[in-house]
Amino acid sequence: MGNLKKAVLASLWFMFLTFPVLVVRVNTIEKTVQWRFMNMIYVGVAAFALSYVWSYLLAKRQLGEARAADGTGGRPSLFGRLLSEPRIYGPFLAVAGLAALAFPAVGSMYQVNILITALIYVVLALGLNIVVGLSGLLVLGYAAFYAVGAYTYALLNHHFGLGFWTVLPIGAGMGALFGILLGTPVLRLRGDYLAIVTLGFGEIIRLVLENWSDFSMGPSGISGIDRPSLFGMQLSVSGSTIYMYYIMIGLMLLTIFLTNRLKNSRIGRAWVALREDEIACQAMGIDKTRTKLTAFALGAAWAGLMGVVFAGKTVFVNPASFTFLESAMILAMVVLGGMGSIVGVVLGALVLILLPEFLRDFALYRMLIFGAAMVLVMVLRPQGLVSGERKVYRFRAAEGSHE
Amino acid sequence: MNKVLSVTSLSMDFGGLRALNEVDLAVRRGEIVALIGPNGAGKTTFFNCITGMYDPTEGEILALTPGGAKVRLNGMKPNKVTEIGLARTFQNIRLFPSMTVLENVMIGRHCRSRAGILGAALRDPRTRREEQAIVDRSYALLTELGLEKSVNEFARNLPYGAQRRLEIARALATEPFLLLLDEPAAGMNPQETMQLKDLVLGIRERYQLSILLIEHDMKMVMSLSDRIFVMEYGQMICEGTPEEVGRDPKVIKAYLGEDHHG
């Protein structure tokens, strides 16, 4: 009943607010006033419906929270159940995998390009997930490491003619190096302070690339970078796009495989412990310095790797590709998907890159819908689409052995 | 000497405030020693100095490892102190709330295992063996502390008493020779406190370790400890067996005020 009353009030309020704009129209030529009361009814009905659904969903969420706090836990979310049941997600994964492999044969070049971008962001988000999601170090300058990788390939290719495959590991190494370079001075910082310093670091890298023209050719960037070669052969533009698509599929699978293994390893547990309680973590014998630096280095290594791929894909790099917006987007993917969860982060990245593309039909309203979708997720599922699941160990009672 | 821990004239200043003033304390092998005193006496500061959270201003902290090595702990990092073999719990429970109960204990095994990034990526036989050993050992510890039913639950969902026990299990997982318990019975009812007392005695028996604990529950302290140290205003005012300490006029004054007779 309370919800209903609130919804009525909200709709009245919205009708009042939009009255001057949507209802009254003054025709200055004929000097008449038109009253468009139909608009008022539309606004009223829409506001009522939205407000009612909104409060219903909120109430439902609060109920869930109360149940979780009780310790009764309630049942796991529908999503969680789907993810933990191999019979359900197995066939789904197989179909998705086949579709992904066959896609270049079906889709247009434009669509394949979009998918490559989406895959690059999936890997970037998985890399940032190590730093932000698992270790809890809020880094706002992740695009800097991405830039380091891209410029590593661009410069080495431009000056020394080194190929994609040679630079791929070098780019990852350079990313890791810069991760350690940034990590060392900020070891004592955490939370907001760390975020601000890393934000500054990201801007410094971008500004250096923009202004140090002798080194990076300034804002005009570096063009004519080689696309990856297939056993020494140079491919046509469309051929190399498809090739790049499969490279990215491979790199994404490798990243998922590795981050999944890391997550449930001795190092991964140390990262999570660091996130949960820094003081207790140290008191339990974990070297804070080393653990933080490995997180920085590994997270940045993936950004460096993707930088090389990005440079090889677009054959042109300039500093404008590595702004703060880029870092914020990648962070949004991690937060939206669910910090620390690999499935969640992959979903988050795909949604954030592909949703605006699907919404192109709505042209003007595209960004509005996109923003609304993000707000909705944050209100209804603040822990992200998939919240961090931990590994379940099974024991046969009394024996203490596990499967 | 068989002192596993000897602290001599330890002082700790915070700016102009002297939180600890020339404090002496020693724990012998296999002993349960209690540190008591009114709130704000500096007990937890003392713990923090020993475990490397603070770097003491003056004085010396020496630990004698079971291997026979004498180690100076002043200004050592907390994780190094734990590696040497001193493990602690916290006054206000500090578990890793979003990790499972088992994982919490597995963290304790961190400093006793080696696997690195490469091991995690390749999962070679050595890493797998090590991981299996960590899991087995952690599970065994949990069984011993009666937590084996909730291994896969999140630590934050455990009832209060179980969280306290989990903290002890986690500390034991680091294989300490000296266990430091900061108010382990805080917030427990009398029955739980009695169970805790038996648990602490059992742990000493089973793992052959020494225990230093801060506690406010006098009944537990008196029945559990071999020796008691009393602190007030950052100074050690008394030391002795429970009987001696119970009779000491300075202690009675510190606890009950100036005008108490009897």
Are B56 and B42 within 8 A, CB to CB?
Answer: no
Same domain, B63 and B107: no
Domain assignment present for residue B92? The answer is: no
Single-letter residue type at A231: F
Chain A residues inside the 8 Å CB shell of B121: 258, 261-262
**Is residue B135 in some structural domain?**
yes
pLDDT of residue A77 exceeding 70, the answer is: no
B-chain CB neighbours of A400 within 8 Å are: 136, 139-140, 143
Three-state DSSP class for A376? Answer: helix
Instruction: Judge contact between A175 and A304, C-beta under 8 A.
Output: yes
CATH for A305:
1.10.3470
Residues 131-190 of B with CB under 8 A from A: 131-132, 134-136, 139-140, 143, 148, 151-152, 154, 157, 170-171, 174
* The domain boundary residue, chosen from A20, A42, A70: A70
A141 and A50 together in one domain: no
B95 vs A contacts (CB less than 8 Å): 276-277, 280
Q: Looking at the domain assignment, is residue A42 inside a domain?
A: yes
Please, which pLDDT band fits residue B259 given cuts at 50, 70 and 90? low
Q: Are A175 and A287 in a shared domain? A: yes
CB contact under 8 A, A276 and B99: yes
pLDDT at A388: 63
Q: Range of B212's domain?
A: 1-85+176-262
Tens digits of residue pLDDT in A163-199: 889 999 999 999 999 999 999 998 888 788 999 999 9
- Of residues A281 and B117, more confidently modeled: A281
Q: What are phi and psi of A285, to 5 degrees?
A: 90, 15
Residue A128 inside a domain? The answer is yes
One domain, residues A28 and A170: no
User: Taking residues A121-142, what's their average pLDDT?
Assistant: 93
Residues B120 and B77 in one domain: no
Whether the per-residue pLDDT at A75 is higher than 80: the answer is no
Residue A381 tokens, joined: 């599922």
| Residue B18 in domain | yes
Query: Would you say residue B93 lies in a domain?
Result: no
| pLDDT average, residue stretch A252-272 | 92
Q: Cβ separation of B98 and A390 shorter than 8 Å?
A: yes
Q: Are strands B3-14 and B58-64 parallel, antiparallel or unpaired?
A: antiparallel
- Do residue B171 and residue B187 come from a single domain? no
| pLDDT of B258 above 70 | no
User: Predicted confidence band at B137 (pLDDT cuts at 50, 70, 90)?
Assistant: very high
Among A349-358, B2-11, B176-185, whose mean pLDDT is lowest? Answer: A349-358
Distance of residue B245 Cα from the nearest chain A Cα, in angstroms: 31
Closest CA to A340 of A89, A118, A172, A130: A130
- Verify that B180 and B81 share a domain, yes or no: yes
In a domain, B90, yes or no: no
pLDDT at position A402 is: 46
Going by pLDDT thresholds of 50, 70 and 90, the confidence category of residue A78 is low
Place of tokens 């009672």: A397
Nearest to B88 among A258, A276, A283 (CB): A283
Give yes or no for residue A79 having a pLDDT over 70: no
Q: Does one domain contain both A42 and A164?
A: no
Considering the domain architecture, whether residues A59 and A161 belong to the same structural domain is answered as: no
Please report residues of B whose CB lies closer than 8 A to that of A268.
Answer: 120
Chain B hits for A285, Cβ within 8 Å: 79, 82-83, 87, 108, 110-112, 174
pLDDT grade for A72, boundaries at 50, 70 and 90: very low
Range of the domain at A112: 107-380
Per-residue pLDDT tens digits for A282-325: 999 999 999 999 999 999 999 999 999 999 999 999 999 999 98
**A339 located within any domain:** yes
Tell whether A24 and A156 lie within a shared domain. no
- pLDDT band per the 50, 70, 90 thresholds, residue A403: very low
With contacts defined as CB-CB under 8 Å, which chain B residues touch A258? Answer: 121
What is d(CA B106, CA B122) in angstroms, rounded to the nearest whole number? 20
Q: Answer whether residue B142 is part of any domain.
A: yes
pTM of the entire structure?
A: 0.84
Give the one of A266, A395, A402 whose C-beta lies nearest to B120's C-beta: A266
**Shared-domain flag, residues A155 and A253:** yes
Indicate the range of A337-346, A368-377, B30-39 predicted with least confidence.
A368-377
* Helices A142-160, A109-128: crossing angle, 10 deg rounding: 120
Same domain, B77 and B193: yes
Task: Assess whether B57 and B182 both reside in one domain.
Answer: yes
Tell me, yes or no, whether B166 and B206 share the same domain.
no
Query: Backbone phi, then psi, for A322, in 5-degree steps?
Result: -125, 45
Residue B228 DSSP class: E
Does residue A362 lie in a domain region?
A: yes
Q: Which of B107, B140, B175 is the last residue of a domain?
A: B175
Same domain, A60 and A113: no
**What average pLDDT does range B20-47 have in this prediction?**
92
Same domain, A41 and A153: no
Number of domains in chain B: 2
Rg (CA), chain A: 25
In a domain, A313, yes or no: yes
**pLDDT score of A231 more than 80:** no
Pairing of strands B86-88, A316-317: unpaired
CATH number, domain with residue B79? 3.40.50.300
Helix axes A324-337, A366-380, angle to 10 degrees: 40
B176: pLDDT strictly greater than 70: yes
Q: Which two tokens stand for residue A104?
A: 């270049």
Degrees (nearest 5) of the Cα angle B106, B110, B111?
140
User: What is the structure's pLDDT at A84?
Assistant: 66
> B79 vs A282: CB contact, 8 Å cut-off?
yes
- Tell me which of B132, B157, B175 is where a domain ends: B175
Are B238 and B202 in a shared domain? Answer: yes
Does the pLDDT at position A6 exceed 70? yes
B91 located within any domain:
no
Q: What is the pLDDT of residue B51?
A: 93
> A81 pLDDT exceeds 70?
no
For residues B74 and B196, state if they share a domain: yes
In a shared domain, residues A186 and A120: yes
The answer to whether the beta carbons of residues B234 and B41 sit under 8 Å apart is yes
Residues B135 and B196 grouped into a single domain: no
**In a shared domain, residues B32 and B143:** no
Share of chain B above pLDDT 70, in %: 97
Between the two ends of chain A, the Cα-to-Cα distance in Å is 52
Same domain, B81 and B139: no
Looking at the structure, do residues A206 and A307 belong to the same domain, yes or no?
yes
Residue B4 to residues A206, B44, B60, B229: CA-CA distances in angstroms? 55, 20, 14, 16
Contact B154 A268 (CB under 8 A): no
Domain final residue, candidates B159, B175, B191: B175
pLDDT reported for residue B201: 94
Q: Residue A74: what pLDDT?
A: 42
Q: Are residues A51 and A128 in the same domain?
A: no
**Residue A76 pLDDT greater than 60, yes or no:** no
By percentage, how much of chain B surpasses pLDDT 90? 64
The two most distant CA atoms of chain B are separated, in Å, by 71
Q: Nearest Cβ partner of A285 from B99, B110, B123?
A: B110
Contact between B210 and B30 (Cβ < 8 Å): yes
ipTM score of the complex?
0.90
